[in-house]
Amino acid sequence: MHRTTPAAGSAPEGAPEAGFRHQGCLYGSDAEFLAMAVPFAQEGLRRGEPVLVTTTAANLGLLQAAVGADTDRIAFAESAYIGRRPAKLADALHRYWNRHRATAPTGAVRVLAEPARAGSPGEEAAWQRAEAEFNVSLAGTHIWMICPYDTRTLDAGAVEHARRAHPECVVDGEIRPSGEFTAPGEAGGSGEPAPPGSAADLFRFEGDLVAVRRHVLERASALLRSENTVTLFGVAVGEAIAYLLEHGIDRAAVWVRPAAGRVVCTLHSDRPVDGPAFYGLRPAGTGLWMSDRICEWLDVSSDAAGCTIELAMTAGSQDGA
């Protein structure tokens, strides 16, 4: 039996709902974005709940103009500078809640989070996994989060996934249960990533760390502009291989290719890796620390189909960048 849920702009008085609230919102115009964002932010301020908004520069400008004098009471950040990767966004949200929960009258914080998506298939798949896994990894928090989806720029697949990843959706100013929501444990596995274009691009790692690093460096040196960047990329990939070895995996397919202005290395093993439900909330000191800081993009997924690690560097990176 579904409980009647109030609209985002008319939250009930008293203590808020316990736990993590995760809602999606599809919008196709500036007016539709503001109709969702303004009441959500203003109601949070009225209740004394810290409000964080991370979205595009254009949407930040729209919202700041709409809330007027309340602008200074809201934390704003462009998506390009906070949480470009799912792991980083999850960590940022957790830290924001931990920093503010003790002083918020309700113990809750509000977040409007529209991530920056580069548009490559691999990164979009990572964001889709993250949206679903937020329901598990942030379940112990007291965060009310709305994830806006701009239907003017996203494809039909991303829009369909938004409905499946969020237990609730904001529609015409009202919160409605999502009939298409699929709990993370019920969703299908991510499957093996798309194979390289030719057999010549594929390298089979069979326990020899030196050999796989040599292959990656040879491929990357033709795609990256500086020797320093090539060396750093080799270090990051080497740590990823070491991560697999530490988890008892000594066989993996490795391929390097250019994609969307980046150089991407994918490592895939048919065996899964045991770890936290969501890699972005792994404990400090857990593997891939160096790779996480060297690479512009890092994603780790592991399920019944195996473990996949994807790393990327900007193809135009220069020494010292």
pLDDT (0 to 100) of residue 200? 47
When pLDDT is averaged across residues 225-244 and rounded to a whole number, the result is: 89
When pLDDT is averaged across residues 4-9 and rounded to a whole number, the result is: 40
When pLDDT is averaged across residues 229-244 and rounded to a whole number, the result is: 89
Q: Distance of alpha carbon 100 from its chain centroid, rounded? A: 22
pLDDT (0 to 100) of residue 182? 79
Distance CA(158)–CA(146), nearest Å, equals: 16
pLDDT tens for each residue of 39-60:
999 999 999 999 999 999 999 9
pLDDT (0 to 100) of residue 14? 38
For 99, phi then psi, to 5°, come to -70, -30
Residue 72, Cβ neighbours under 10 Å: how many? 9
pLDDT (0 to 100) of residue 1? 32
Q: Are 287 and 275 in contact (CB under 8 A)?
A: no
Q: Which of 5-14, 124-133, 197-206, 307-316 has the lowest mean pLDDT?
A: 5-14
pLDDT tens for each residue of 171-226:
988 999 988 887 765 444 444 555 555 444 677 777 777 788 888 888 888 888 78
Q: Over the range 246-256, which residues count as b (16 or more CB within 10 Å of their CB) and which as e? A: ebebeebbbbb
Asked if residue 5 has pLDDT above 50, the reply is no
Give the domains, in start order, of the chain with CATH numbers. Answer: 21-186 (3.40.50.300), 199-314 (3.30.565.10)
Asked if residue 107 has pLDDT above 60, the reply is yes
Q: Which of 45-49, 155-159, 162-166, 184-188 has the lowest mean pLDDT?
A: 184-188
Q: How many residues does the chain have?
A: 321
List of residues 6+ apart from 299 with CB closer than 8 A: 85, 86, 87, 122, 123, 126, 279, 308, 309, 310
Asked if residue 100 has pLDDT above 60, the reply is yes
CA atoms within 13 A of residue 182's CA, in its CB half-sphere: 13
Q: Determine if the pTM surpasses 0.75.
A: no
pLDDT tens for each residue of 137-147:
788 889 999 99
